[in-house]
Structure 1
Amino acid sequence: MVPPLALDIDGTLTTPSGRIDPRVFELLADWDAPVVFATGKAFPYPVALAHFLGRPETVIAENGGIAYVDGETAVLGDPAVPRAVVAAFEARGGEVGWGAGDAVNRWRETEMALSLDADEALLREVAATADGDVEVVDTGYAYHVKSPDLSKGKALDRVADAVGLSPEAFVAVGDSENDASTFAVAGESYAVANADATAREAADAVLDEAYMDGTAGLLADLRERGE
């Protein structure tokens, strides 16, 4: 039997240019165990990926701010402080960096995300003086302003329980500091070769290959192990 999976998306199921690797559809559509997509992206993104794979839409979004399983949505965070931080950041001349449309934050319910082109030093300065608990997480794709009480790992505890499993049953794969909490609760954890230092240190092992190349190789090994 193959194990259940907790998979990051960006940097883990993608190519170096940021596209979803087509092997995702070959390898995960028929994976015979629960697959949880655990991402920093807003809620619609992992739901859409699961939908087009024909899989149950079992997802963790916004770095643990939202958990969705069996048609039930749990919004686990309050966006008030992150939004106030970003408003103060903009008032001091900072720019969110996504352009006028800002589809990145349009559907975001518990946190805010800023482009890596944003002034990180100013953002962290504003966050440090915020009226409320808040942290800035650099995922390598955006700066996320979020509650420190939220994490992918805590959300995986919740989702695993909802599907009748222990989080220790899951194999987790990721590439960024926001995956370290998932690695801490999963039974096995792997950082792809492009992972940042925090993810590498938190993982049980670092894969030899990067991006989806590393994930695809691991999935093949897990399938062979389960035969």
Structure 2
Amino acid sequence: MPGDVGPLAVDIDGTLTDQNRALDARTLDVLRAWPAPVVVATGKAMPYPVALCEFLGIDSAVIAENGGVVVIEQADFLSVHGNPDAAAAVLADYREAGHDSGWGTVDLINRWRETERAVSRDQPLEPLEAIAADHGLVVVDTGFAYHVKSPDVSKGQGLETIATQMTFALGDTVAIGDSRNDVSMFEAVGTSIAVGNAPESVRAAADYVTEATYADGFLEAIEWVGTTD
């Protein structure tokens, strides 16, 4: 891998995983060896990407909850943006209307969320969007869940915050992802790559689209970055 590559911002689900959301072990050495800052950007709650960084043995530079939470271990920085009360109210109204989050009583998907709520994609979307709009929120379909969030929160804004705090140039940064919530990152960086399983709207926003899908696509993206640097 070239030593002068820029920072890397990477999604988790659908990008570092297989189609069943299992982390592909081949991606771990790539992230450990990356010679510039690595930013893990996800729709998951903060403990998940922080744990990934911990087990990788790298400093946590994390965008969680689609930009609602930003963590930079190196800078002793934590930022939380969003409207958690409104998101909780949306889920309560959704349940009152006869629907459910789809995650069971324990609900590990939402248990540690600070700024948004997520609903399983096997639940009806239309009433969720209507209720969210009543509370001034939006619903983002990441391909893995419906996320009820503030409209002014995004992964792209989170990445801008991290770049400012860590003083690196977004124009030198590579972003790799597969979901609609990654498009804002693509718009912020110098090089954007969609893995092959990404929907057409995400593929259209990327500078390069891999032929391979999921983690195979991530590995192809890394190879492509190496050949174009």
Same fold (TM over 0.5): yes
Q: For residues 3 and 126 of structure 1, what CA distance do their matches in structure 2 show?
A: 41
- Cα shift at 1:221: 3.1
CA contact (8 A) 2:14 2:178 kept: yes
TM-score calculated relative to the size of structure 1:
0.95
- Of 25, 29, 45, 1:26 maps to 29
**How many pairs are equivalent?**
224
- Of 122, 133, 140, 2:143 maps to 140
Q: Give percent identity, aligned residues only.
A: 47
Ranges in structure 2 where 5+ consecutive residues have no aligned partner:
none
Partner SS, residue 110 of structure 2: helix
User: 2:128 is matched with which residue?
Assistant: 123
Tell me whether 8-17 or 120-129 shows the greater mean CA deviation. 120-129
CA contact (8 A) 2:195 2:221 kept: no
CA contact (8 A) 1:95 1:119 kept: no
- Specify the code of the residue in structure 2 equivalent to 1:5: L
Matched, 1:16 2:22: no
CA contact (8 A) 2:15 2:176 kept: yes
- Cα shift at 1:2: 2.0
User: 2:92 is matched with which residue?
Assistant: 87
User: 1:2 is matched with which residue?
Assistant: 5
Matched, 1:77 2:82: yes
Matched, 1:99 2:101: no
User: 1:44 is matched with which residue?
Assistant: 47
User: 1:191 is matched with which residue?
Assistant: 194
TM-score calculated relative to the size of structure 2:
0.94
Q: For residues 225 and 54 of structure 1, what CA distance do their matches in structure 2 show?
A: 28
- Specify the code of the residue in structure 2 equivalent to 1:222: V
- Specify the code of the residue in structure 2 equivalent to 1:153: G
- Specify the code of the residue in structure 2 equivalent to 1:128: A
- Specify the code of the residue in structure 2 equivalent to 1:107: W
- Specify the code of the residue in structure 2 equivalent to 1:213: D
- Specify the code of the residue in structure 1 equivalent to 2:98: G
- Cα shift at 1:76: 1.6
- Specify the code of the residue in structure 2 equivalent to 1:179: D
- Specify the code of the residue in structure 2 equivalent to 1:190: I
- Cα shift at 1:223: 3.5
